[in-house]
Structure 1
Amino acid sequence: MTEIGALLDALTDAIGSQDEERVLRCFGARAVFVTPAGVMEGHEQIGWYFRQLFTAFPDMHNETTARTVLDDTIVVEWTFSGTHTGVLLLPGGTEITGTGRRVVLPAAGAYTMGDDGVFASGRVYYDQLTFYRQTGCDLRLRPTA
């Protein structure tokens, strides 16, 4: 089995290089990836998520601040930074046009390795409201009925 720390390093490097193909090699074909933006299942949907991120933030950078291994799971914290210059397409079709604003926010994730030596799942957590505010999006909350 691939060492889980090395697999996370490979994923981090692939994201930093904005290399979708290398990102996908870190996940199983049926992997599940959960973020505040939604649930992605399989390479096609996970690839879609990262393409949107790379398009919206072509200068993005993740700085790892902590990580720990728990059996077949690695938990990592990082600081995301990037300039929102490209269109960010959200699940459901909403487009957020690039605002040119800098986004810096903490994030955390947990990745579980499958029997095939790649990630079977990943869960990423960040403050979505802070993310949208920093991009300059005009969010208006509406009361529910």
Structure 2
Amino acid sequence: MAEINALLDAITDAISSHDEERLLRCLAPGAVVVTPAGVLEGHEQIGWYFRQLFSAFPDLHNEITTRAVLDDSVVTEFTFSGTHTGVLLLPGGMEIMGTGRRVVFPAAVSYTMGDDGVFASGRFYYDQVAFYRQTGCHLRLRRTV
């Protein structure tokens, strides 16, 4: 259990420090990360995702508020905070230019550790619409028939 807690602390610190190399060392080369924005497979896609996030929120910080470990999995709640000053790329290619707005919201992630001692998968959960609204982007939903 101590090993998975140390790995969670390491990846959280790497994200808050914007250290892509250290972040990727916490994940298996073939890791799969699922976010509300889409599925990321492998270091190349995961690295690209976090580079975009670090660019959009240069002061991005995650603070763990709770965690629970069960065997090879850990679930944690955290607070995401950052100032939206860079371009934020949305699913589908739409870009939101930096607004200077401060974004703070609760989120959760569940990681599963693989046999090699690093995370094989991760699933992030957060209110995507609330996140976009805090950036100043007011998405309009279309009714489909």
Tell me the TM-score normalised to structure 2 length: 0.96
Aligned length: 145
Paired residue for 2:36? 36
Indicate the SS of the match to 1:58. Answer: coil
Distance 2:134 2:90 in 1: 16
Aligned pair 1:92/2:92, yes or no? yes
Distance 1:135 1:9 in 2: 27
Structure 1 stretch displaced more, 91-100 or 31-40: 91-100
Matched to 1:123, the amino acid is R
Per-residue Cα deviation, 1:13-64 (whole angstroms, up to 9, x for no partner): 1111101111111100110000101000000000011001100000111111
Q: Is the CA contact 1:86–1:98 (under 8 Å) kept in the aligned structure 2? A: yes
Paired residue for 2:47? 47
CA deviation after TM superposition for structure 1 residue 86, in Å: 0.3
Gap regions ≥5 residues in structure 2: none
Q: Is the CA contact 1:2–1:117 (under 8 Å) kept in the aligned structure 2? A: no
Gap regions ≥5 residues in structure 1: none
Paired residue for 2:115? 115
Matched to 1:127, the amino acid is D
Distance 2:45 2:26 in 1: 14
CA deviation after TM superposition for structure 1 residue 2, in Å: 8.0
Superposed, 1:1-145 pairs within 5 Å as: 3-145=3-145
Matched to 1:77, the amino acid is E
Distance 2:49 2:95 in 1: 13
Change in Cα spacing, 1:2 to 1:22, as seen in structure 2 (3 Å) is farther
Tell me the TM-score normalised to structure 1 length: 0.96
Change in Cα spacing, 1:63 to 1:2, as seen in structure 2 (3 Å) is closer
RMSD, matched Cα: 1.3
Matched to 1:132, the amino acid is Y
Matched to 2:137, the amino acid is C
CA deviation after TM superposition for structure 1 residue 89, in Å: 1.5
Q: Is the CA contact 1:66–1:77 (under 8 Å) kept in the aligned structure 2? A: yes
Q: Percent identity?
A: 78
Q: Is the CA contact 1:31–1:43 (under 8 Å) kept in the aligned structure 2? A: yes
CA deviation after TM superposition for structure 1 residue 140, in Å: 1.1
